[in-house]
Amino acid sequence: MRVLGIESSCDETGVALVDASGSGVPRLLSHALFSQIAMHQAYGGVVPELASRDHIRRVLPLTQQVMAEAGSSLAQVDVVAYTRGPGLAGALLVGAGVACSLAAALGKPAMGVHHLEGHLLSPFLSADPPEFPFVALLVSGGHTQLMRVDRVGSYELLGETIDDAAGEAFDKSAKLMGLPYPGGPHLSKLAEGGDGAAFKLPRPLLHSGDLDFSFAGLKTAVLTQAKKLGPDLESRKADLAAATQAAIVEVLVKKSLAAMTQTGLKRLVVAGGVGANALLRSQLNAVCKQRGIRVHYPELHLCTDNGAMIALAAGMRLQAGLETLQRGYTFDVKPRWNLAELQAEPA
Ligand code: KG4
Ligand code: ZN
């Protein structure tokens, strides 16, 4: 069974084809991605209307590229999957509209996928795939959550951010330091040359006793520190970046370990854009090794948004018998959508 996946929830257009025959992990046949980052950089963040228009321009050429690289024809596609939410409404509508039109033209079913389910299953496409059950640390630009995952479709929320997401904390702090959008990778690069202990920044909710996060106060502390530095900010930027990164990473690592203790599980999956962060990976690897916990990550190029994770999640849900495929092509998108709602909702 071949599943075509289309991702268009934010500023990346991603298309991929997986083979989900049998019961093994679906196999990625090909994928293609166009990132709009350069276009949004001039505005310091994503401009939703520009994002939607660019998805329209990219999605069909990328689909043609994926089919050509996989040596497959559209007639061989069995299901067309798309990101139904959460994300930017207009951007989601482009992917949903194209996927449903394509499915209708091919006489095949279409299927909406939860973007975060895509992220958290994405490590199954890595060279070291996880096994169920596991704790998932989902750290993206819009979400920071710890979930207990017992099988495909079974997602129990253990804790989440009460304000900004970890990616947002990276991005907003980076913006204060005059770094380009999206700030996470830039801040992390700058931090390589800095001293993380140079400034004392808060670790919000570190000792709250629950698994929730809060990052809004950190951004304010970075702003206060930047103002205090005044003209010296330029020469101390690397230190401030390193201190910011150290604060975010320490909270993520400690809360992940608390989730492992609370659940008694021995596998941790890290997914979402911030999962690409090198300090987060090295610190998690070190502490988890000490505690006999296996950590799994997506391949670096599949940490941020992509079509492969959408095709994969669709394939895994189909294999698990969680979807009843229909050839009806009305659709809606869900810009706000809790992952935990997935179980309760009929397909
Ligand atoms: O998962 P993703 O591509 O999009 C969402 O679904 O939100 O995540 C994007 C986020 C951005 O906030 C970006 O700054 C962050 O992931 N990010 C990083 C790194 N690479 C991407 N943050 C820290 N270090 C990185 N290396
Ligand atoms: Zn994402």
Tally of structural domains, the chain = 2
Distance from residue 316's CA to the centre of ligand 2 (Å): 18
At 282, which helix (H) or strand (E)? helix 278-290
For 232-278, write each residue's pLDDT tens digit. 999 999 999 999 999 999 999 999 999 999 999 999 999 999 999 99
Distance from residue 337's CA to the centre of ligand 2 (Å): 13
Distance from residue 304's CA to the centre of ligand 1 (Å): 6
For the chain, list residues with pLDDT below 50: 347
Length of the chain: 347
Q: Which of the ligands is closest to the CA of residue 7?
A: 2
Can you give the pLDDT at residue 49?
98
Give the residue, by CA position, lying nearest to ligand 1 atom 24: 277
What is the pTM assigned to this prediction?
A: 0.96
Closest CA to 113 of 300, 326, 333: 333
Q: Are residues 117 and 143 in the same domain?
A: no
Distance from residue 252's CA to the centre of ligand 1 (Å): 14
Q: Label residue 313 exposed, middle or buried (CB < 10 Å: 0-12, 13-18, 19+).
A: buried
Closest CA to 94 of 108, 82, 105, 110: 82
Q: Are residues 168 and 31 in the same domain?
A: no
Asked if 165 contacts 144 with a C-beta cutoff of 8 angstroms, the reply is yes
Boundaries of domain holding 283: 128-297
> What residues line ligand 1, using a CB cutoff of 6 Å?
10, 140-142, 167, 170-171, 182-185, 188, 272-274, 276-277, 304-305
Q: Are residues 291 and 319 in the same domain?
A: no
Q: Are residues 77 and 213 in the same domain?
A: no
Q: Are residues 288 and 321 in the same domain?
A: no
- Rounded CA-CA distance 63/16 in Å is 8
Asked if 232 contacts 223 with a C-beta cutoff of 8 angstroms, the reply is no
Q: How do the residues of the chain divide into helix, strand and coil, expressed in percent and rounded to 5?
A: 45, 20, 35
For 152-190, write each residue's pLDDT tens digit. 999 999 999 999 999 999 999 999 999 999 999 999 999
- Rounded CA-CA distance 242/199 in Å is 9
User: CA-based diameter of the chain, in Å?
Assistant: 63
Distance from residue 87's CA to the centre of ligand 2 (Å): 9
Asked if 133 contacts 265 with a C-beta cutoff of 8 angstroms, the reply is yes
Domain CATH code at residue 202: 3.30.420.40
Can you give the pLDDT at residue 327?
82
Q: Are residues 272 and 258 in the same domain?
A: yes
Residues with CB under 5 A from ligand 2 (ion): 140, 305
| Residue of 274, 282, 310 with the most ligand 1 atoms within 8 Å of its CB, for mutation | 274
